[in-house]
Chain A
Amino acid sequence: EAQVTQNPRYLITVTGKKLTVTCSQNMNHEYMSWYRQDPGLGLRQIYYSMNVEVTDKGDVPEGYKVSRKEKRNFPLILESPSPNQTSLYFCASRRQGNTGELFFGEGSRLTVL
């Protein structure tokens, strides 16, 4: 089954404790992206990657890091989480080009105390 898998789905952590949210896709997609969803703001792009070893900032990259060492994986790293990073995070992937469907993971709800 074609899917995007994120882990963990739920996490409560404390300010400053480094964490990683993993994302893996099995569709051989070149393009992968991370979004955060906040009420009334829709989805805002954090980082995206057009292929292995190619990453770029989205609209709200501050406080986040990513890496793309393998085509299928695109982890999101919060080196020193803060309460304003409490949010619902989505990983998505698609084929190269901007006409195709984005496939989303089920989301990771992060709470930073």
Chain B
Amino acid sequence: AQSVTQLDSQVPVFEEAPVELRCNYSSSVSVYLFWYVQYPNQGLQLLLKYLSGSTLVESINGFEAEFNKSQTSFHLRKPSVHISDTAEYFCAVSPNNAGNMLTFGGGTRLMVKP
């Protein structure tokens, strides 16, 4: 079984400031890692994922996340946020065996202020 902890339920930040959304996980097996974003009144959309290879993964809109196996973390960062980044962000893990379970964290609401 696996679990995901997102340490901050809300993160307020000013526009153009950097941001880090924290995600820690626990699992008895190796995992795949995902970040999903939920804009207001919408479903979730995949932002980025780590399956293997380089531990730093990037999205098309400037977010990046780094897989740290020793710290069992997958924190999401952006060097300069925009108002349009205001959304809820979910970290999720899936075992890299034949299973189909995807476990989500509790979510972090990013609030970007002008």
A associates with B: yes
Chain A positions near chain B (C-beta within 8 angstroms): 4, 31, 33, 35, 40-45, 48, 50, 90, 92, 98-99, 101-102, 104-107
Q: Could you say which residues of chain A place their CB within 8 Å of the CB of B4?
A: 42
Say whether chain B's binding surface is mostly helix, strand, loop, or mixed.
loop
User: Contact between A104 and B45 (Cβ–Cβ < 8 Å)?
Assistant: yes
Instruction: Give the interface size class of chain B.
Output: 20 to 34
Q: Could you say which residues of chain B place their CB within 8 Å of the CB of A4?
A: 43
Chain B positions near chain A (C-beta within 8 angstroms): 4, 6, 9, 32, 36, 41-46, 49, 51, 90, 94-96, 99-102, 104-107
Q: Could you say which residues of chain A place their CB within 8 Å of the CB of B107?
A: 40, 42
User: Contact between A40 and B43 (Cβ–Cβ < 8 Å)?
Assistant: no
With contact pairs A40-B9, A42-B104, A42-B106 given, residues A99 and B32 touching in the complex (Cβ less than 8 Å): yes
Q: Could you say which residues of chain A place their CB within 8 Å of the CB of B51?
A: 99
A43 to B102, CA, bound (A): 10
A42 CB contact (under 8 Å) in B41, B46, B90: B90
A55 to B95, CA, bound (A): 19
